[in-house]
Amino acid sequence: MRKKVVDGVSWVGKIDWEIRTAHGKEYSTHKGTSYNAYLIEDEKTALVDTVWEPYADEFVANLQLEIDLDKIDYIICNHAEPDHSGALPALMKLIPDTPIYCTKQATMSLPGHYHQDWNFRPVSAGDTLSLGKNTLTFQPIPMVHWPDSMMTHLSGKNILFSNDAFGQHYAHELLFNDLADQCTLYEEAIKYFANILTPFSPIIKNRIVDFLATALPVELIATSHGILWRKNPEQIIEQYLQWCDAYQEDQITIIYDSMYNSTKVIAETIARGILQHSPATQVKLFHAAKADKNDILTEVFRSKAVLMGSPTFNKGPLSSLSALLEEFRGLKFMGKKASAFTSYGWSGEAAKEMLAQLVDAGFTTTDEGFRVHWRMDTDERAKALQFGVDFASATF
């Protein structure tokens, strides 16, 4: 069933209320998601993007209820990742000669996925395609999110089809930001940026600046996931510019795992020390093996500093901490401070190991970490409290 975006532009995608992980099992989607595709009906008709492969047949069947497929003059493929291009094979079986407008990189990645020699029309920045009254202008945005990504602007309606940029994994039947829960929308937008786009932050900033330099007017941002930004669409552009710029709030996140609660008690004592020094700082604690990985990474993105705590186990941290440290390395957070702590019985290398990995991931460490032999006694509780005070002071 189509949903009206504006006169002449319809949403024809799929809202996926069931999905609970995306990118395989890598990204938790507590609120579902959507694969947004659009039909633009002018003197010519263009289809912008499709849906994820499991919904390909449903997508094509629904599209046939809305339009004679032979009337689709152009297909715009803004990004070859299968969550957007996955219905192309089913669709192109029925309209094999329809031209597909995409970036030069997508003319390689699409055949890489589907091994089909479709009628590709590679486009460059500023290239246009007239639909009759209104015109499409293409703006490649490599690395937002893949090298083949681009945005497409529709004149007259002033709609920016932004693909992954400005999206969120948020299933919602009413499409538009003014009809969505604002807290959920913000939480899913920042989670999406933190977990998917953070490594490309400097590039994204340049791509946004490049687009703003085109002076193309934008009255609506039609994303490929989640909510469309209809009310004050500039808000998400301004938000992205902030998130791109070594974003942080007055927050310290403590991430720990614990075998017999010793490390947990250290974490909670350090938290009290931080609050003793900085009563207004948001201090949040997460058990690395119990909390959702992507939610933790979102909190790290928000933080000015991070503390990692683990028992020493096989001369290093527990695997839950190691997995997160590997995520830190890939995500390339910027401008954040860090330290580590451990409870140990014999050798106590976990803090040193985690500090080295934090430095490798681009964090600035504030000290040599904090180590407790077995469980804390009264003196060590005082030292842990002071460690929290000193860490808060170092991050001020």
In angstroms, what CA-CA distances link 318 with 26, 109, 369? 20, 38, 16
Residues 6+ apart with CB under 8 A from 323: 288, 293
d(CA 62, CA 130): 26
Q: Which C-beta is closer to ligand FEO: that of 164 or that of 380?
A: 164
Q: Which C-beta is closer to ligand FEO: that of 163 or that of 357?
A: 163
Question: What value, to the nearest 5°, has the Cα angle with vertex 206 and ends 202 and 208?
Answer: 115
Count other C-beta atoms under 10 Å from residue 280's C-beta.
6
In angstroms, what CA-CA distances link 108 with 49, 79, 81? 17, 11, 12
Name residue 353's beta-bridge partners.
none
Q: Which C-beta is closer to ligand FEO: that of 14 or that of 145?
A: 145
- Give the tokens for residue 330: 């890939």
Main-chain dihedrals φ then ψ at residue 35, nearest 5 degrees: -115, 105
d(CA 255, CA 137): 45
Distance of CA 161 to the CA centre of its chain: 17
Rounded least distance, CB 148 to ligand FEO, Å: 9
Rounded least distance, CB 102 to ligand FEO, Å: 14
The SS3 call for residue 122 is strand
Residue whose entry in the numeric block shows the structure tokens 């020390």: 273
Q: Which C-beta is closer to ligand FEO: that of 81 or that of 299?
A: 81
Q: Between helices 350-360 and 319-331, what is the axis angle to 10°?
A: 20
Rounded least distance, CB 306 to ligand FEO, Å: 27
Distance of CA 315 to the CA centre of its chain: 34
DSSP secondary structure string for all residues of 176-209: BGGGS-HHHHHHHHHHHIIIIIGGGHHHHHHHHH
Rounded least distance, CB 342 to ligand FEO, Å: 38
Question: What value, to the nearest 5°, has the Cα angle with vertex 289 and ends 284 and 293?
Answer: 65
Q: Which C-beta is closer to ligand FEO: that of 79 or that of 371?
A: 79
Q: Which C-beta is closer to ligand FEO: that of 14 or that of 79?
A: 79
Rounded least distance, CB 107 to ligand FEO, Å: 17
Rounded least distance, CB 81 to ligand FEO, Å: 4
Q: Which C-beta is closer to ligand FEO: that of 224 or that of 263?
A: 224
Residues carrying an active site annotation: 23, 79, 81, 83, 145, 164, 192, 225
Count other C-beta atoms under 10 Å from residue 232's C-beta.
10
Contact positions vs ligand FEO (CB under 6 A): 79, 81, 83-84, 145-146, 164, 224-225
Rounded least distance, CB 146 to ligand FEO, Å: 6
